[in-house]
Amino acid sequence: MFPIVLMLASWLASVPPAQEQERSTVPKDSVKVVVNGCLKGRVLRTSDVRPVEPESGPDVRYLRTFRIAAKKDVMSSVKAHDGQVVQITGLLKKADLQPRGLRVGRVVIGGGTPMADPTRRGLPDPSDQIIVMDALAVAPTGGSCVPDR
């Protein structure tokens, strides 16, 4: 009887809870970040961006605007905090953070700003440079957003 109890106890100790394992894993092609900013609809204008693990991954401090995508429960929280200053923890794809174009020596091929289509009167496409963040958690930090002038 004692060996069976010992085997059962060792098996239960070796199996981690499913929720902890799911939350702690970050895909290899992504970076986990914490972002403070103003939330308007599904667009987040940032005031501060910092990676969870600063020693690994690309530099994310220069990023200023994100489109939020999340599961249904997190999106309901995003809708509830519309127009407020929030802190969002989420995942960014590393491919979205890389500069566009191919670098050959000092020359970047195809890395410049795309020229506007003459039929569109020079207006840029709003979704061109907006990076999608997969939100994991939303927390209000207090206050409402200052309206743009």
Per-residue tens of pLDDT for the chain, all 149 residues? 666 766 656 666 665 655 444 456 888 888 888 888 899 989 998 887 777 776 666 667 677 788 999 999 999 999 999 999 999 999 988 888 776 666 677 776 765 555 555 555 554 555 556 789 999 999 998 888 876 55
Q: CA angle, corner 19, sides to 14 and 23, nearest 5?
A: 110
- Secondary structure of residue 44 in the 3-state scheme: strand
